[in-house]
Amino acid sequence: DTEVTQTPKHLVMGMTNKKSLKCEQHMGHRAMYWYKQKAKKPPELMFVYSYEKLSINESVPSRFSPECPNSSLLNLHLHALQPEDSALYLCASSQWGTGDTIYFGEGSWLTVV
Amino acid sequence: KNEVEQSPQNLTAQEGEFITINCSYSVGISALHWLQQHPGGGIVSLFMLSSGKKKHGRLIATINIQEKHSSLHITASHPRDSAVYICAARVYFGNEKLTFGTGTRLTIIP
């Protein structure tokens, strides 16, 4: 199984809503990532978890709150988002520190209205 | 100036043509990834290179560490190869941060 599964595929939320994006992998990878991608731009790193601990936070606003409940799951909790946060949110995973291949999910398309 | 530069930004070619996409980087890297992204959004990892050359089917990737340059080649291109191709540099082992190029939008016309 070389899949990274993201749910939901599409999400529309209001600026006062609270929602979550979910990511799951069963490859035994100990590094998991959240990326944000705007149209026609490359992905931008948001967070990196290694061994379920947050290791990189790229100065992301606190309205985005990551969580890694176990080695297979990664969540991104969303609260009080702005319309400019509308984007494709990509989850990825890899082995940690080995320079191994990185696997991406299909992404969650988020629209904030 | 971006740490990872790609060229061309857009490329349109006829089916069957040989395609080359270039990637130059200015930082020290431990590995360079070539990624493919279709309009649906998901990203597929094509290659990870730290030296030399790799081949998978019609795709070939090369890297020259001294010149800080990598190329992705597609032989006998096909319309299904139409996608955005992104190179991404892994800065050094232990830091799992990738620095992405701006991408090359490839369109293959039947």
Q: Tell me, yes or no, if A106 comes closer than 8 A to chain B by beta carbon.
A: yes
Identify the closest residue of chain B to A36 by CA–CA distance.
B41
Cβ within 8 Å, pair A102-B31: no
For B42, counting Cβ atoms within 10 Å of its Cβ (0-12 exposed, 13-18 middle, 19+ buried), the class is middle
Query: Which residue has better confidence, B11 or B99?
Result: B11
Whole-angstrom distance, CA of residue B62 vs CA of residue B72: 7
CB pairs under 8 A between A and B: 59
Structure tokens at B21: 């996409």
Does the structure show a pLDDT above 80 at A97?
Answer: no
**Host H or E run for residue B19:** strand B19-25
Structure tokens at A52: 């379920």
Q: Which residues of A40-74 are buried (b: 16+ CB within 10 A; e: fewer)?
A: eebbebbbbbbeeeeebeeebeeebebebeebbeb
Does the structure show a pLDDT above 70 at B26?
Answer: yes
CB interface of B with A, residues 39-68, below 8 Å: 40-45, 48, 50
Amino acid A1: pLDDT: 62
Does the structure show a pLDDT above 70 at B57?
Answer: yes
Does the structure show a pLDDT above 70 at A68?
Answer: yes
